[in-house]
Amino acid sequence: MALTLLSHKVSDLCIGKPPLCCLSVVTATVSDAIAALKSSDEPFLTVWSCNHDEKTEDNDKCECLGKICMADVICYLAKFDNNVLSLSSAFDESVSVLLPKSRSLVVHVQSSCNLIEAIDLIIKGAQNLIVPIQTKSITKRRQQQKLLTRNVVVSLTNTTSTTHKNSRQFCWITQEDIIRFLLDSISVFSPLPSLSISDLGVINSTHTILAIDYYSSAASAVSTISRAILDNVSVAVVDKGCDQEDPCMALIGEISPMTLACCDETAVAAVATLSAGDLMSYIDGSGPPESLVGVVRNRLEDKGMVGLISLIDSLSLSSGSSSDEESPAGRTRMTSSYGRSVSSAARMARKSVAIVCNRKSSLMAVMIQAIAHRVSYVWVIDEDGCLIGMVTFVDILKLFREFLDGEN
């Protein structure tokens, strides 16, 4: 059974995968990236080193440099001075400023790459594996050529494309894809699935550093949120209590990059003015509470953050002109532009409630829990609700990899 499992190729996981939407690092700006993200049903877009507008026969050098989401945009804008000129210039910068410094988060592989090699790449730090979409028939090639022509028009208006030179397209494999695939053959790993995560030693305590106190300013968590994006996890929002001798950090909730990815760029105003606890409420669900919207506006004005005020007003004005929705006081509602259209899968992740388990939870239960909530980790708490650590997909893959090595 183990040999059969290992014989699978990554192409087996690519069936039905849509082609990736791509931005060119040569031509796209931060403003282009924001527009593309808002028009996309998916939370992430990929950035490539090839320029699709150039007439060249060589597309072998087309390389995916990384992926971006709205959380990257929000963290980027949060680092700028809050004057109109400075913030305005931030939108004109190359999309490359949104990319993480580590390119190992996305790795190119051939469709013939076997499953065990893919697992090894994930364990080494890859979040996504870029795989060429295979086309064999003449009919498919003709269809892709028509798609290329159509995408050239799209790329001129929306700055994104799904087709590269010579009609090539790519999809990607995620950590979740591999875990789902292994779940279909979970009996191969018996008795691991039935054992507790504590007995298996799979609880990871190193990520507990990605935590912020409930009452701390959200602005102080920007670098931590950026780190969470790199680690494919979230920032725990905790209550450290008043007892200095008690190391317990009660888990209240989380600030998830996937939750921020469902917002638009105006969420940076909430990051700049609210506490971590209030930010959880602001970005949770379908929209921010009216009370917090007013708090954000008042604090922006009190602090003289004219850049963010201008940003909010410009977006609210454009949104208000289309919806003609006004508050009782006659002011265009700030909430009208505080969200973006994303897929139902992404909306499932737009919650600030932390997904938790305990030491005695079985590995199988934790895997199903994570997949059901479309997250790559589950927080581990004790009987008092204190944060112990987390179990990530990478931790689980390491465990399975060691088990397979022992079988051979």
CATH number of the domain enclosing 227: 3.10.580.10
Residues 101 and 139 in one domain: yes
| Helix, coil or strand: residue 311 | helix
Give a yes or no: residue 186 inside a domain: no
150 inside domain:
no
Do 171 and 228 belong together in one domain?
A: no
Euclidean distance between CA atoms 378 and 261, whole angstroms = 19
Structure tokens at 148: 């290329």
Q: What is the pLDDT of residue 165?
A: 66
Structure letter (DSSP) for residue 108: E
Relative to beta strand 356-357, strand 377-381 is parallel
What pLDDT is stored for residue 12 in this prediction? 92
Structure tokens at 365: 């239960």
Do 361 and 227 form a contact (C-beta atoms < 8 A)? no
For residue 342, being part of any structural domain is answered with no
Q: Identify whether residues 127 and 227 lie together within a single domain.
A: no
- Has residue 300 been placed in a domain? yes
Domain end marker among 153, 180, 207: 180
Specify whether 167 is located in the same domain as 238.
Answer: no
Asked if residue 321 belongs to a domain, the reply is no
- What are the structure tokens assigned to 74, written together? 């929000």
Render pLDDT for 129-149 as a digit per residue (tens, 0 to 9).
999 987 654 344 455 454 443
Same domain, 300 and 170: no
77 and 223 in a single domain? The answer is no
- Tokens 């591999």 belong to residue: 178
In a domain, 189, yes or no: no
CA within 13 Å, CB half, 156: 7
Q: What angle do CA 183, 186, 191 make, to 5 degrees?
A: 140
> What is the domain range of residue 259?
194-315+349-407
Q: Are 274 and 370 within one domain?
A: yes
Neighbouring C-beta atoms of residue 103, cutoff 10 Å? 13
Sites in the chain below the pLDDT cut of 70: 1-3, 51-60, 81, 83-84, 103, 135-160, 165-166, 207-208, 242-246, 286, 317-352, 407-408
Q: Are residues 231 and 122 in the same domain?
A: no
Give pLDDT, residue 146: 46
Please tell me the total count of domains within the chain. 2
| Statement to judge: residues 238 and 375 lie in one domain | yes
Distance CA 113, CA 104 (A): 17
| Domain-located, residue 366 | yes
> Domain check: are 6 and 94 in the same one?
yes
Domain boundary among the residues 154, 180, 206 is at 180
pLDDT value at position 404? 87
- Judge if 248 and 396 occupy the same domain: yes
Residue 95 near residue 30, CB atoms below 8 Å = yes
- Contact predicate 149/163, CB 8 Å: no
| Cβ 370 vs Cβ 234: under 8 Å | no
Confirm if 252 and 327 have CB atoms less than 8 A apart: no
Residue 149 lies in a domain: no
Are both 137 and 246 inside the same structural domain? Answer: no
Q: Is 366 helix (H, G, I), strand (E, B) or coil?
A: helix
Q: Count the neighbouring beta carbons within 10 Å of the beta carbon of residue 320.
A: 19
